[in-house]
Structure 1
Amino acid sequence: MIKWSHERSQAFQETLLDWYDQNKRDLPWRRDHNPYHVWVSEIMLQQTQVQTVIPYYLRFMDQFPTVEDLATATEDKLMKAWEGLGYYSRARNLQKAARQIVFDYQGRWPTTTEALQELSGIGPYTAGAIASIAFGQPVAAVDGNAFRVFSRLLEIDDDIAKPQTRKVFERIINLIIPKARPGDFNQAIMDLGASYMTATNYDTSQSPVKDFNQSYQDGIEDHYPVKTKKKRPIAHDYFGLIIHSKQGYLFEKRPSHGILANFWMFPLFDRENLTDEKATPESMLVGKIEARLQSEYQLSADLHAVDVPTVTHTFTHQKWKIKLLEAQVADNIDVSYFPGKWIHSSKFDQMTFSKVQSKLWLAYQKASKSTQSVGD
């Protein structure tokens, strides 16, 4: 790893910030240094592309213009505003932290990285971003961009997949970050990582800081950052039940913990809970589901496969594959023993659905239209 002198660090600061002043991205959350704006944008940007976030951010600020508005919002309104962004625990933690600020801190924001991390859902990176951008604290904000940029600049060989590596980068960047414009410095690193120093197809020959990029000078830029491969998401095979009558579609509420907590979804049956044999015919598994519905919920349903490809959705650690089954049941059927309720399709736009549920509904609609076309 190359270490920079004070003079070289200062030259890098000047070069980077001069470029940033002329080329920074025009993003709505950069138009002031309001900690609320910085915080909401950073939470939304986790696992999500900038261009996807912009319209969500603007709508969110229209509905919740202040931290007080967010703290006092109903959960339904909050989740509807977040619908489609995914990773819904982010929204719940946003509101928890907003309530901490409003009710526990009397509306006063913590200003240091240590104090900011006492708020729900705020980790080291987000704390560094808020502290530097909103409060002028000369602290690093180490995200994927910072890992990539500084590992290449300084040929840092530490594995960025290991949690302890963050401390290494924080110590190094804190020696380089300027005291005068720390927020702009961190945002410039973000923009550099999103342009000339991307993960692939990077163009360092045109980069404003190429003279400081040791890995580029040594012709080994593709060696950085050092990162061990993630484990593949664990596959889970489900059957999704589309049970309907004139009352609507039968939904169940997800448990209050775990993936998609508290969301309303079409009922799911895990294939593993139906049989230990991988080669069990699908017709037999469908029969097992029908028997479970009858024995556990006193719900009689004649299920058949929907003619549509398996719906897939990948979470961080799991990959769901969902085969759709359909049943039309009598309008007066008793569902009082079933842990769910009827929801009419006319009410869907008022509900907050997960991305998985939206995929299931879209797939079913396509199958229904296809069937109608054949019938016509």
Structure 2
Amino acid sequence: MIYGKRLGLRSLVAASAIAVAAAMPMQAQAETEYNLALLSDFSGPYADIMPVLAASRETVFAWWNSTIGKELDVKLNYKNYETRYDAAQVASLWPGIKSELNPIAIAGLGGPDVAALSERLPEDKIPMFMATAAYGYAWQPDAWIFNPRPTYSHESAGFLAWMREQRGGDEPLKVAILASEASPAYVDMAKGLELYAEEHPDELDLVEIIYTEVQPTDLTAQMRRVARAGAEALIIQTNTSIVVAAKRGLQANGADIPIMMSSHNGLPASGGALGGLEQLEGDYEAYGMAIAAEEDTPPRQFYQTLVDEYGLEAPWNVVTAMGISQGLYTVTVIEHAIEENGAEGLTGEMVREALFAKPITTEQTHGFLPTLTFTPEAPFPLEGLKVNVGTVKDGKITIEATGVDVPDVKKW
């Protein structure tokens, strides 16, 4: 055979293989896959908002996989774990979660996750990214649990400083706080603002801190005391059940005291629990992320992309914004880790180091969060802290203020 004489058998086989390969379509490079553990509460105090929060952050992961992840040949898998918002349940589940998934990151939900895992994660070298504000008891250097927002006390102090400025005058603002001893996070929310009020008596007059059950049935007597004390604002950063009981108590006493809520128990969730958003006319929500109002903003536009192109089934509200912001914040840190280390062999420790390597810009989170610069000194950014304020006007959520400066809240 003339062809064989020219090339020899080995060359003939090689030439044939090349010809076959040339005739076949190109094979796509295999994606590198990593796992994320999602801590959730579908049966506890946040069962009313969890489906929306979960859908929002999961849709962000789907968007990232099909866009940025596709370009990087990386796919993020995820799995939800029911914790009932209970620290003991989180601690019990964690060894199995770690063994099953070997995750490079965790998307946490709230205070019980922090309480249960703050000492475990440095040993396991897996970072946890939250959607919520931070906690004073976790305000330590070299953390493995990170919040894109400062503490709840930072956020409430920023709101109250703004409210006092809007009111005018030199007198301190009279404030009451509603919390619960059922969760370390709920206690922490009150303690930080309590210390701030003690150190700034010319700005805040804390008339009462009320500790109640997680799901109180009646707060009429407590709200009577708050009204008689002349409170100008009521801070409730706990859950929707406490907001509902407090609002009913205020209404029973004919008291018109504005309530400030956080994101997880904000205007749409608490309004829905009360029977309608109009029940919270003149009340507020304040936090360090975008307000989910109807204005045509970059966050609103990105939300619509997730609805139109990725099948997100969630209303445009603060809970959805919180889930989207958590998802964007998490994938951006992972993206930075890939840029630093390559797509293969990524570890939780590499993800954590990437958090400190460069800022997470507001453009990367589509305006849901301000530009975040983390350092090992704290589990949240320490500089440039701001909050946004939303309210209900004529039965609709509107943006009341953006970029409100947060005062210097000391560690407690």
Calculate the TM-score normalised by the size of structure 2.
Answer: 0.24
Structure (1 or 2) with the greater strand fraction? 2
More relative contact order in 1 or in 2 (CA 8 Å, sep 6+)?
2
Calculate the TM-score normalised by the size of structure 1.
Answer: 0.25
Structure (1 or 2) with the greater helix fraction? 1
